[in-house]
Chains A and B, each alone.
Chain A
């Protein structure tokens, strides 16, 4: 079946512009995550949704970052007034995790590479 898809795959923005990154999770996956990966480093958690509810946004680096998942499926990560330090790959992942003590595997999309000039 179809995996996690992200668009655009590449985005170049001038400093100060707003950008919107889209994630289509695997159909039926309840949980959705956004991660930021700087060059040469491991991904770092940004935010987590269970269905349409944003349960954890502790990793968002500033109030310029905003994420939503209004219908519990597609999610959008928006970055306002982009800065050069926002340049990174933004990864989306989804899983079947529904709560409790059982943990399910996360499936990752190909990422969006954002370059702020």
Chain B
């Protein structure tokens, strides 16, 4: 059974500092890995999706890397801003599962202090 873990569970940084969020998964048989942002009381906003054949994906200040062999993905957020405060979730798409089921980590709660 796929297990996805995110460490740390919470992170507080001063504005301007770079953020590094970690995600690990136990089963490397994945289609891809997706990073989401969740604001309090809201649904999930997709940030980046890395295909299993890719090593990284970039969007603006966000960069996500994927190392299937070690079962790890990292989300980097450059020059953090207070508006980046949210919970960040990673999710693995399993090859064995019917229809692209996502297995989520527990999330990292990020607070960026002005």
Contact = CB atoms under 8 A, between A and B. Distances in A.
Contacts of A31: 99-100
A48 B103 contact: no
B43 A42 contact: no
A79 interface: no
Interface string A68-97: 000000000000000000000001010101
Given A91-B43, A109-B43, A48 B49 contact: no
A113 B40 CA distance: 12
A41 B100 contact: no
Which interface class (under 10, 10 to 19, 20 to 34, 35 or more) fits B? 20 to 34
Which interface class (under 10, 10 to 19, 20 to 34, 35 or more) fits A? 20 to 34
Interface in B11-33: 31-32
B99 A50 contact: yes
